[in-house]
Amino acid sequence: VDMLTQEQADSYLPPFKPYHRLDADDPISFGLFASPDYYLEFRYENDQAMRRAQDIMAACGREFGEMFGRDYSGLVEAYRLDDADTAIVAMGSLCGTVKDAIDEMRDAGKKVGLLKIRSFRPFPSAEIKSALSGVSRVAVLDKNISLGSKGAACLEVRDALYGSQIPVLGYVIALGGRDVRKKDIAAIVDNAEKGRGDIFYGLREELLK
């Protein structure tokens, strides 16, 4: 783990200035109820602020890279994706295992790459569409489930690639912190190559009887 020193962190971050605090001499309301007459407009402003945050996040990531040599201006990160036939899309700590599995699959002749999502909101739809434009299929790994539907990232990636004719296959895995091994990633890629998606991977059906 490569951590900044406290002095480096202080040089990058602005001084802490809490905007919402209890002050008897300056009473304010926050998190208050909005009536139907105003709620739609409030939520619209929330949505627009979220969309504007994407450019701000990119600028902050670029500034961080200039100061410390690690550029986080992109909201996605590609790994061995340039000539990939199968792209794995994942988030968080799972990506370390995925990278190791990809290296082994590449050694075996399989053209597999990773697109890591760094920011779920705002969702980087344009960056994802561009990064995945040359692949034959996409396998999305979700450590979550939107009950009655699919994993959250799978739904978003399908929306981002709508109209592209690239199949997006979803795999719900590792719920509750269950381990994911390199062989699991390889098995998921095998399923994706055969067009088998929308799977609860690792489900022990004998426990459901």
At 22 the pLDDT is: 83
At 209 the pLDDT is: 81
Retrieve residue 117's tokens: 């999502």
Give the C-alpha separation, 50 to 126, whole Å. Answer: 15
Q: What is the CA radius of gyration of the chain?
A: 21
Torsion of CA 24, 26, 31, 35, to 10 degrees: 110
The CATH number of the structural domain formed by 76-208 is: 3.40.50.920
Cis amide bond preceding 14, omega within 30? no
At 58 the pLDDT is: 94
At 36 the pLDDT is: 93
Q: Which residues pair with 199 in a beta bridge?
A: 171
Give the C-alpha separation, 156 to 68, whole Å. Answer: 32
Neighbours of 81 (CB within 10 A): 21
Give the C-alpha separation, 143 to 137, whole Å. Answer: 20
At 18 the pLDDT is: 83
Q: Report the relative pairing of strands 199-200 and 168-172 from DSSP bridges.
A: parallel
Retrieve residue 130's tokens: 């561009």
At 90 the pLDDT is: 98
Contact 89, 77 (CB under 8 A): no
At 31 the pLDDT is: 75
Contact 195, 169 (CB under 8 A): yes
Supply φ then ψ for residue 191, to 5 degrees.
-60, -45
Give the C-alpha separation, 209 to 195, whole Å. Answer: 28
Q: One digit per residue, pLDDT tens: the chain, 209 residues?
A: 789 999 999 999 999 988 778 889 988 887 777 889 999 999 999 999 999 999 999 999 999 999 999 999 999 999 999 999 999 999 999 999 999 999 999 999 999 999 999 999 999 999 999 999 999 999 999 999 999 999 999 999 999 999 999 999 999 999 999 999 999 999 999 999 999 999 999 999 999 98
Domain ranges of the chain: 26-73, 76-208
Residues sharing a CB contact under 8 Å with residue 59, sequence separation 6 or more, in sequence order? 73
Q: What is the pTM of this model?
A: 0.89
Supply φ then ψ for residue 117, to 5 degrees.
-90, 120
